[in-house]
Amino acid sequence: MSKCYKKPFLNKVITRIDFTANYELSQKGLPKDVSDTILKLFPIPEPKEVIAKQVHLSAQGVKEIQDKQQHLFFHGKAREKSFCLTPKCLYIEVNRYETFVKLKEEFFAIIDKLSEAEDFSIMRFGLRYINNVNFDEGSPFEWNKYLNPDLLKMLEIPTDKKLLARAFSNLVQQFDDGMLLNFQYGMHNPDFPSRIRRKMFILDIDSYYQGVFKREEIKANFDLSHERIEQLFENSITEDLRVLMEENNG
């Protein structure tokens, strides 16, 4: 059973697919059934025209090509979540996360409806959870009560922690099924290059697959991505932090 917390330190959740070939966005907009599905979940439309720049090298020299692209943005009623469709990718970004089940349902409701309008294949799929554990009080370098001590060993390297301006690490695992699990953690310090003053610790876990996939394959790996992200997160925290976040398995 997936764990839920009433007061998580979860800043953002992102799930995204990249297309193998450009998804053709018609000048007339999306088909009505696709648009209706998106607007039901993300009722505030906000289309944008984006200029994509490419640099081409040839015998004649360097040439910069500008390509105008339509990016379709949609937002939740309180802008607590966003959906974006571009010729190259689509993604959902959630700032006020509720449950994994809801995220999955919304993501695939849109993907399934889009695939009915135009068949596509996928070259990359990702699911990312960004946690920012922060406190207003206490030494910025005292984390043993809340985090796995193995994550904190880098803080022991300098003889004087007070001189630290950033302490950030990157750990990547490659699984036999092709999944890459990218774990970035530490004190990134929003005030960099000034020294660390705030008690903030990032746990940023990104699961992704690269290759060529049909949407059915992505569905099969979606749950596994979440499972491994959750396992890594749980291995990174202590019981004291779980109590603080008010664990709720109901």
The share of the chain scoring above pLDDT 90, in percent, equals 73
Strand partners, 2: none
Task: Delimit the domains of the chain by residue range.
Answer: 1-20+121-250
Contacts of 38 (CB under 8 A, 6+ apart): 30, 74, 83, 110, 113
The model's pTM: 0.89
When pLDDT is averaged across residues 203-232 and rounded to a whole number, the result is 92
Q: Cα–Cα distances in Å, from 151 out to 6, 40, 61?
A: 24, 42, 49
Give the residue, 186 or 117, on which the prediction is more confident: 186
pLDDT digits 0-9 by tens, 137-152: 889 999 999 999 999 9
**Region for 246 from its dihedrals, namely left if φ exceeds 0, alpha if ψ lies in -120 to 50, beta otherwise:** left
Task: Judge whether 181 and 205 are in contact, CB under 8 Å.
Answer: yes
CB atoms within 10 A of CB 197: 11
Length of the chain: 250
Task: Judge whether 228 and 127 are in contact, CB under 8 Å.
Answer: no
